[in-house]
Amino acid sequence: MSAPALRHHYTGKVRDLYEVDHDRMLIVASDRISVFDVVLEDQIPDKGRVLTALSTFWFALSADVFPNHVISADPTDFPETAGPEVAGRAMLVRATQPVRLECIARGYLFGSAWSEYAERGTVSGRRLPGGMRQAERLPEPIFTATTKAEKGHDLPLTDAEAADLVGADLYDRIAVASLDVYRFGAAHAESRGVILADTKLEFGTIGGELLVIDEMLTPDSSRYWPADEYRAGTSPPSFDKQFVRDHYLGAGWDQTPPAPPLPPEVIEGTRARYVEAYELLTGESFDEWFT
- 250-281: per-residue pLDDT in tens? 999 999 999 999 999 999 999 999 999 999 99
For residue 50, the model assigns a pLDDT of 98
- Dist. CA 231–CA 234, nearest whole Å: 6
For residue 151, the model assigns a pLDDT of 60
Mark residue 217 as left, alpha or beta (left: phi above 0; alpha: psi -120 to 50; beta: remaining). left
Read off the pLDDT of residues 213-223 as tens digits, 9 standing for 90 and up: 999 999 999 99
Residues 109, 188, single domain; the answer is yes
Q: What is the three-class DSSP state of 129?
A: coil
Are 280 and 194 within 8 A, CB to CB? yes
Q: Is the dihedral of CA 243, 246, 248, 251 positive or negative?
A: negative
Q: Residue 21: which CATH number? A: 3.30.200.20
Residues 41, 107, single domain; the answer is no
- Dist. CA 61–CA 76, nearest whole Å: 21
Residues 165, 212, single domain; the answer is yes
Give the total number of structural domains in the chain.
2
Within a domain: 235: yes
Residues 102, 237, single domain; the answer is yes
Residues of the chain with pLDDT under 70: 1, 149-153
Within a domain: 262: no
Residues 87, 107, single domain; the answer is no
For 97, list phi and psi in degrees, rounded to 5: -95, 110
For residue 3, the model assigns a pLDDT of 81
Whole-number CA gyration radius for the chain: 18
Within a domain: 86: yes
For residue 152, the model assigns a pLDDT of 59
- Dist. CA 203–CA 215, nearest whole Å: 10
Within a domain: 53: yes
Among residues 72, 95, 118, the one where a domain terminates is 95
Estimate to the nearest angstrom the gap between the alpha carbon of 281 and the chain centroid: 15
Residues 220, 102, single domain; the answer is yes
Residues 102, 231, single domain; the answer is yes
- Dist. CA 96–CA 271, nearest whole Å: 31
Q: Residue 129: which CATH number? A: 3.30.470.20
For residue 61, the enclosing domain spans 7-95
Are 185 and 58 within 8 A, CB to CB? yes
